[in-house]
Structures are given as structure tokens and as C-alpha cells.
Amino acid sequence: MAAEVRKVAEYCYQCVAGPDLLQVKVEDGIATEIEPNFRAAEVHPGGGKCCVKAYGLVQKTYNPNRLRTPMKRTNPQKGRDHDPGFVPITWDEALDIVAGKLNDIRAKGLIDDVGYPRVAASFGGGGTPTYYMGTFPAYLSAWGPVDFSFGSGQGVKCYHSEHLYGELWHRAFTVCPDTPTTKFVLSFGANSEASAGVVGAWRHAEGRMNRQLKRVQLEPHLSITGACSAEWVPLRPKTDAAFLFGMMHAMLHEHPRESLDLAFLKNHTGSPYLVGPNGFFMRDPASEKPLLWDNRRNAAVTWDTPDTDPALEGEFTLDAVEIGADGEKWNHTGARAETAFTKLVAHMAQYTPDWAEKVCDIRPGTVRRVTTEFLENAQVGATIEIDGETLPLRPVAIILGKTVTNGWGGYECCWARTLIPCLVGALEVPGGTLGTTVRLNRPATSRQASVKKGR
């Protein structure tokens, strides 16, 4: 008797590169093969193709060691040499155990004496669970305060700093280039050809082949991505931050100010904010809003004052209050204060391209050449029309690999990766560096919804 064969449309969401559309070949009720779903080619960025990792899902599903029931630990001792004594239990027993603990917590109070939630949750999938865990995230929202700081991932596979600073600066779990629009990408150890899923690899390949996208790969070894890039720069291990700092020096000290997006820096960043003697923003004594120097009024005004021309650089004299990180207050009369941008320029003076090239052990002139290419491709002042709206076009981006972000220098690299696009207005605009839709910050409806208004 011939086997009954059918093909079922499905999707893979094993990682944040998904969902990848696919179809499963089923013979007599048993999944036997994973195939692309070319019926979705017109609506799927990858043309209906799925990442190679999805092909292992059949083996994962029918693995004889796969756990199919809840497991209960019977040995309370948790030393390295102790057998945890896990035994299978029924779903009813597992649900009774969890419900009993939750009821005890609710009776005791959802918040402990220190102010932290007594219930914590970690799903092992970053921000993706809200998309594929059904009603469980909604249940946790209905429950009340839940501690998500456990995070997920960790270990060598996690992006660590990328996640933390991505959430703070981009409201996103990870950051990526606007690949369909960008023209110049600096990739510090990001192995996109092997780890970005079929959509990521396809978009990078399409850009290189059809749109003259130039990608410069900076990493110690020649990866697949480096081999597919226009240029490979063999940095010494963990010197990525030095290269980025050298770029910032060149942009701030060796190129004319007009090569930067001055309007963006003035109107969309804290660059004009005045910094007090103790290193904190100078604020209006009444509203405690940060102050900037308005060239039109020749006076210090709050950042949200309408019709201003903020001074981007310089030192000014003013009366203000300075508030420290722990609420300390200093009342200043006739104090001298520089703009935050002026502080940045002074701070980056020490990180010359020559210094960076010695640290990175690369050919002299590389940092300056790459910086010049970055600025030329940034197209400061250019615009693009999308869905009837005119938006800034800044087709340059910087991406970081996990070995860059999950160890020594991770903060410095994430900071520089975000600040350099700021200098040319390439942050969260077409062609530039974008936060992805996956995130840990709640709610999960949109990145904008997760932002809370504050000073």
C-alpha cells in the first residue's frame, strides 16, 4: 500500500533570524523532510528559502532523548558530583506544583522587602517568545510584576553587550544595517554569511551583486563573510574598539565639520547640552530640564525651547543647577560650561589613527582611508521618499559580531558603533544602523511603545 504523502506549510523560529517559511513533507503522519516553500516566494524576503539549520528540525523532533513530559528534581543537593535525580511527572502534577508556589507568592505579596518581584521568568530565546509562546506572555502580564532580568542565552553564543546597550540606545535586542538600502557596511567580526539566516545572507549577497554594496570585514581570521567581502582588514584580536576610536578621531579632528550631519547633532542628540564642572548636565533651576546655548537669544535655554539655534561647540557662562547621578545638587552662579560635543571632541583627541593602527597591527593609512570612505558614502543631506514621506538617507552602517560584544571591550565597541552613525545622522534612518523589531523591553507591540517619556 502506497504511503500517504502530503506537504504542510510551516515556519522555523529557532532563533531571532526567523521566521523562515518552509514546508514539511509528511508520510503516513511522520515528518520526513524539510523543504523550501516556494509558494511564498513573492511575500518572503528570502524567496521562500529557509536557513540550513531548519533542516535539522526533523531530527530534533524525533530524537529519542527528547523530553516529552515535565521533569521533577528529587535531589536537593546541587553540587557538581550530585545526580539531580530528575524523574518524569504528569502535566497535572507539574501544574499543581507551579500553581501552589504562585498562590503562596500571591498570599505573601508579589514584591519582596527590597522591592523586587518574587516571580522571575526566562525563556531562553531573547525577545522572540512574545511572538510564539501563545497566551503565556499575556498570562504573565495579567499576573503582575515579573522579573525578566534573568535574561536568556548567555555563554559563548550570546551577544551580551549588544543586547544591553541595544535595548538602552535602540530599544532593540539586536542592531543591524538597513541592508536593502545601505551602500557601505563596516562589519567587525559579524559573520553574516553564516549566522544571519537565509534572509540576511540573501540580502547581503543581493546588495553586493546588484547594488554595489561595499562591505569591509574587520576581524583577525578570514571568515566566510570576510572572503565574500570587498575588503578584509586583519585586526589583532580584541582591538576593534581602537579602530573605531581612531575613526572618531579622524571624523572629529581631520575632516571638516560640514562632513558631519550638524543639523542632526544639534536637533536630535544631546550634543548641544551644557556640561557642568562636575561632569553632569547643567539644568534650569525651576524645571530641571537640561540647558543648551541658543545662538539666536545669546542665552542658555532649556532643550525644548522652540525656535532655537543650538550652539554645537563652545564654552559659555551661565547660572544653573547641576544634578548628579545620585541626586546631588550643585547651584552654580556664573559657571563655565562646555557643550557635550565639545567634551567629545576633546576626549577623542588622544585616539589618533596612527595610535589605532599600531594597536590593531594593520597597514598605516587604513583607518583614515576607511573613515574617508565612510563619510563619502554617508551622503549627508541626502533624502529618500518612502510611502510618500521624505526621510533622511544615510547609506552607511556598522555591525558587530558576538566575539566583539561579549567580552573585553564590548561596551566601548557598542558605544562607538552607535556614536559614529550619530555623527553623520545615520541612526535609525533609511540606509543606516537600525534596531531590529525583536526586543526584551515590554510591551512587544512596537519599539516606540516601549519608550517612556522622562527627563
pLDDT tens figures, 17-63: 677 789 999 999 999 999 999 998 888 777 888 887 888 889 988 99
Q: Which of 16, 21, 122 is nearest to 402 (CA)?
A: 16
Q: Which of helix, strand or coil describes residue 218?
A: strand
Q: Compute the Cα dihedral for 105, 106, 107, 111 and give only its sign.
A: positive
Which region among 135-139, 350-354, 366-370 has the lowest average model confidence (pLDDT)?
135-139
The vertex-111 CA angle with 110 and 115, nearest 5°, equals 165
pLDDT tens figures, 248-280: 999 999 999 999 999 999 999 999 999 999 999
pLDDT tens figures, 78-124: 988 999 999 999 999 999 999 999 999 999 999 999 999 999 887 76
Q: Which of 310, 231, 308 is nearest to 272 (CA)?
A: 310
Asked if 13 contacts 128 with a C-beta cutoff of 8 angstroms, the reply is yes
Backbone dihedral region for residue 379 (phi beyond 0: left; psi -120 to 50: alpha; all else: beta)? left
Query: What value does the mean pLDDT take over residues 336-355?
Result: 98
Q: Which of 342, 394, 400 is nearest to 161 (CA)?
A: 400
In the chain, where are the structural domains located?
A: 5-61, 70-108, 161-258+348-449, 264-339
Q: Which three cell numbers stand for residue 262?
A: 550638524
The vertex-244 CA angle with 350 and 181, nearest 5°, equals 145
pLDDT tens figures, 143-184: 999 887 655 444 455 767 887 788 788 888 788 899 889 999
Q: Compute the Cα dihedral for 306, 307, 313, 319 and give only its sign.
A: negative
Q: Is residue 415 within a helix (H) or strand (E), and if so which, with residue range? A: helix 410-423
What pLDDT score was predicted for residue 126? 57
Identify the CATH number of the domain defined by range 161-258+348-449. 3.40.228.10
Kindly tell me if the per-residue pLDDT of 139 is higher than 70: yes
Q: Is residue 231 within a helix (H) or strand (E), and if so which, with residue range? A: strand 231-233
37-44 long-range contacts, Cβ below 8 Å, gap at least 24? 37/9, 39/9, 40/9, 44/20, 44/199
Quote the longest CA-to-CA distance of the chain: 95
| Distance from C-alpha of 268 to C-alpha of 251, rounded to nearest angstrom | 19
Other beta carbons within 10 Å of 361: 11
Query: What value does the mean pLDDT take over residues 322-350?
Result: 96
What pLDDT score was predicted for residue 168? 81
- What is the DSSP secondary structure assignment for residue 310, as one 8-state letter? B
What pLDDT score was predicted for residue 153? 47
pLDDT tens figures, 220-254: 999 988 888 999 999 999 999 999 999 999 999 99
- What is the DSSP secondary structure assignment for residue 236, as one 8-state letter? P
Percentage of the chain modeled with pLDDT above 90: 64
- What is the DSSP secondary structure assignment for residue 313, as one 8-state letter? S
Q: Which of 135-144, 176-185, 201-210, 335-344 has the highest mean pLDDT?
A: 335-344
pTM summary value = 0.81
What pLDDT score was predicted for residue 294? 98
